[in-house]
Amino acid sequence: MVRRAVTALLTASALLAFDTAAAQAKVFRGETGQGRRASVVVGTDGLLRAARVNWRARCRDGRVFEKTLFSRPHDSSTPDAFFDTGTYRGRSKGGYRLRFTTSIRGERRGSGANERWRGTFRAKVLVTRRGRYVDTCRLRTLRWRARLVG
């Protein structure tokens, strides 16, 4: 009986500690130079937890619309700046295959209630169909900014 009470008490205190740590994470929301959403989440350790950018790129024959999420581990992350790059794949209607190569760079400005992040985002999309090259879409430099929420 005592063992159950101790186990319940330890579980409750662990959940309370987890909620307190999660509450200290900071969320920043803003937009890109294209007027699309951008966000940054900084963990309790002061380092980037995740960054997300909604974007579009021009192609020879149309456009690509995408939302890219950068999650841990990042190439470089300090309390004042971060950098990450990566490649991922996707599919589109009509049997098109897309290979996205993206990078993001950000730096922290201000402190306290005026804390904010800003940076740049780049993307290249290789489009193929049935194993043959179709197009390359490029987004050379997209600026983004985000302010502290709440």
Q: Grade residue 12 by pLDDT with cuts at 50, 70 and 90.
A: very low
Q: Where are the domains of the chain?
A: 25-148
Q: Looking at per-residue confidence, does 3 or 134 come out higher?
A: 134
Q: Could you report the per-residue pLDDT of 49-69, keeping only the tens digit for each?
A: 999 999 999 999 889 999 999
pLDDT, tens digit (0-9, with 9 covering 90-100), for 120-147: 999 999 999 999 999 999 999 999 999 9
Judge contact between 121 and 53, C-beta under 8 A: yes
Which has the closest alpha carbon to 70: 103, 110, 37?
103
Report whether 78 contacts 86 (CB < 8 A): no
- What single-letter DSSP state applies at residue 34? T
